[in-house]
Structure 1
Amino acid sequence: MKRIILFVMASLSVLVATAQYLKIEYAGDALPKKEQQLVEQMMVYQIKFYRLFGLKDSLKVKLTVFNERSVAEFYLDTIGLSKKIPVKNIGGLYSAKRKEAVIMEMDKNRKRGLSVIYHELSHYLTREITGINPPVWLMEGLSEYFEHCEVGKKGIRHSMTAYEKGRIRSMYMLGEVNLRNFVDADWSLFMKKQRTDERYAYILAHALTTFMLENVSRQLLSDFITLLQDKTDRAKVSEKIARVYPGGFEAFETDFEKFCE
């Protein structure tokens, strides 16, 4: 009976417009006003970035937050997502079909929960500019980038953790990085590397996206996104990078490795 009562309480929602471009439908357990303001500040920041690549107006996404994992898992059962997506040990997920981000256990760590919200909402915006199936490393890399942003009094600041920086350096020292294969990988290969190699995939995607956002011109990045938006172009992602990056993919590999040193 307790679970049913909690689910009914979690069904309430409110719609809030953010920066006139995005409407967030809040559902589930209520976020305190301060946390809601942080989410909306981050979304304004993200929207400014995604607008550079053709993000359309009048967007709408649903954000469903649960304080307790058991209630979140029950909700995912009721909408049929738990049968399609492994939900154990994840902090949140995004359903492209429903345009809904679900956060699993906000009460476990409020600060961490906010980072998961930033991550999952980035999935929505990335799909909006690239189409239904963007390269997995770019989708997860952008989400990791915004997950690692913090809203402060002086604005929003991104950082990579000391562990991530050390892990990237060790990857190169051990000869583990095959960048061409990585950017061309599909979802199954990406997740296989993630599960078996100490978070290899997410860390490498985060580093690669950080390199592209902070060390590559926005025009070059825009040209790359434009190629991804062309659904008639069947070239591999590495080939598309080679077309826009000065010196081709080999120069891209060299510059990224120097960035990681």
Structure 2
Amino acid sequence: MVTDVKPPRWINFKSIFILLREWFDVPTPSKTDFHRWRRELSDKIEKGELTNLPLKTWWPKYSDGDFRFELCIGILLVHQVTWRQVTTCFRNVLAHLERNKMPFTPEGLLSIPVDELAGLIRASRYARQKAKRIRKFCDFLRQYQSLDAFFHELPANELDELLLKSKSGFGKESRDTVLLYAVNSPVFIADAYSRKLLTLLDVPDAANYATCQKIFHDGIERDFDADDLLDILNSYSRQELDYVLINRPQRQLVPKILLYQMYHAGIVELGISKRWDEFLRACKDIQPQGEPKIKR
């Protein structure tokens, strides 16, 4: 466990967050069918007509099944591939399930033989290995009476340990992604892009996952006050909150969950855009300024 690292004084984590939102966020229209609009955005991304999705509702949803379960499957599929490839996998699997009148559930996916499942997800690298992991994860979930019994009723740290022990392909980053997006636990995902950002900002040992995660946790705690967190919460519509708070978290945790989700999404979009040099120049321009303000 990393205990002696501190967020550098030369980095303002709120300023970085504001910059990420300015660069990559897509505002939700105030008067619109939210779910239809969200689906249309996903289609535009798939066609190359848009470059990124809204940071507030960043993770795409494809099925009518439990979004928590779908998120986990997406996390297993996205390893070493682009999200466009994951989208193709989901389309194929969902079409197969619909033809066979099976739901998008652990039981539904287990009804597909491993070789056939590998064929459906061949757009993803290591398709057979991932098919085995998906089936192993689905079989692991069947020991619980319901998905709620796993995702909602277990403490986050216990769920994290169980995912590790399931040996179904969830590494540290993948488990943190499950915790933040599916379980709605306030955990910062110190992915490769986050580690690269801190490394480029001259943070020592930022390539270490635990170090990077602690620096973000502590830096956010230092640079965001209660009013900032309230502004973030108030920037969400009810439909947006319903979309992302899928595991009914405790009310006092919600603002930080929303912040971590948007922060992670913004850093991933920065990494995909490859605009590192431009972003670093912008960071240097804003760091010396006065107290930055969160826009609602």
Decide: shared fold, TM above 0.5.
no
| TM-score between the two structures when normalised by the length of structure 2 | 0.26
With the length of structure 1 as denominator, give the TM-score of the two structures: 0.29
Of structures 1 and 2, the one with the larger relative CO (CA 8 A, separation 6+) is 2
Normalized per residue, which structure has more strand?
1
